[in-house]
Structure 1
Amino acid sequence: MLRDIHPLLGPDLLFAIATMGHGDEIAIVDANFPAATVGPKVVRADGLGAAPLLEAVLTHLPLDTFAPAAAWRMEMVDTPQIVPPICLAFQEIVDRIAGPFMIEPLERFAFYERAGSAAFIVATGEQALYANIILKKGVVTPEEASRFAAKQ
């Protein structure tokens, strides 16, 4: 057991987010997503929901403030104007933990393509449809680093 590490982050996922650099992307995807065939290394998070896992990841992963967008969700097929309830939950989590970042919609195949170039895909056991989000990692500011050092 480690201190100050979110309990939903297992060793593989913790390693993944720790080794990502500024601008790298990570996809957190639902149980229906073709994670094994899209391309990047897959971290399994079976049994975990996408929203709690998003919260766990954002507890430690800063979003990119230098890019025009730092988070993307998959649009619904045939009704792209509708935001699924799980994606509304994602937005609330991002707002609460990361700050005012708008989660941008991506058409289904554009989402697959972007996820295919991510550093990692986290395959959850989430059953909600369209429970897919991509995050772009930002930087830890000197102020954040000094706050951490002060806790030591």
Structure 2
Amino acid sequence: MLQGIHPLLSGELLKHLDEMGHSDTVFIVDAHFPAARLAHRLVTVPGATSPAVLEAVRSVLPLDDSPAVDLMTSADGTVLDVQRELLAAARVEEGDARFVDRFDFYDAAENAYVIIRAGETRKYGCVVVRKGLVGH
């Protein structure tokens, strides 16, 4: 165990986040998402919500320039509570996020550096963040 590291960040996940380059993507997806089929690198965090996982990731990962966050567009186009929680965890405003069609989101996931499957059971609890530059 390491001091100062969020408890949801496993050694495996930290390794992937560290190896990422500028603009590489992290997909944090809900339990409904076909992560095992699409992921080249898959980490699971069962029992944790997507916003909780994103908050943990953001504790070590700076965001790229706008749009640094993508959310999956809900079926009726409204912004859902889980999506508002994801925006808050990312520390971005709704206007700074991009909303992406579900099937475009799936297509983009095939190129993700890492997919993190949370235990989130709410629909549309999926988010993409892009790694920014680490300050010195």
TM-score (norm 1): 0.84
Q: Determine if the alignment matches structure 1 residue 112 to structure 2 residue 73.
A: no
Q: Determine if the alignment matches structure 1 residue 90 to structure 2 residue 90.
A: no
Q: Determine if the alignment matches structure 1 residue 27 to structure 2 residue 21.
A: no
Alignment match, 2:2: 2
Separation (CA, whole Å) in 2 of partners of 1:36 and 1:136: 21
Quote the offset at 1:8 in angstroms: 1.0
Alignment match, 1:70: 68
Task: Flag the structure with larger Rg.
Answer: 1
Separation (CA, whole Å) in 1 of partners of 2:68 and 2:102: 18
| 3-state SS of 1:73 partner | strand
Separation (CA, whole Å) in 2 of partners of 1:38 and 1:20: 18
For structure 2, the 5+ residue unaligned runs are none
**Aligned 8 A contact 1:50 1:125 in 2:** yes
Alignment match, 2:118: 124
**Aligned 8 A contact 1:9 1:57 in 2:** yes
Quote the offset at 1:83 in angstroms: 0.6
Q: Which moved more, 1:40-49 or 1:27-36?
A: 40-49
Coordinate RMSD, CA, aligned: 1.4
Structure 1 stretches of at least 4 aligned residues deviating more than 6 Å after TM superposition:
none
Q: Percent identity?
A: 35
Equivalent pairs, count: 135
Alignment match, 1:41: 41
| 3-state SS of 2:86 partner | helix
Separation (CA, whole Å) in 2 of partners of 1:93 and 1:35: 21
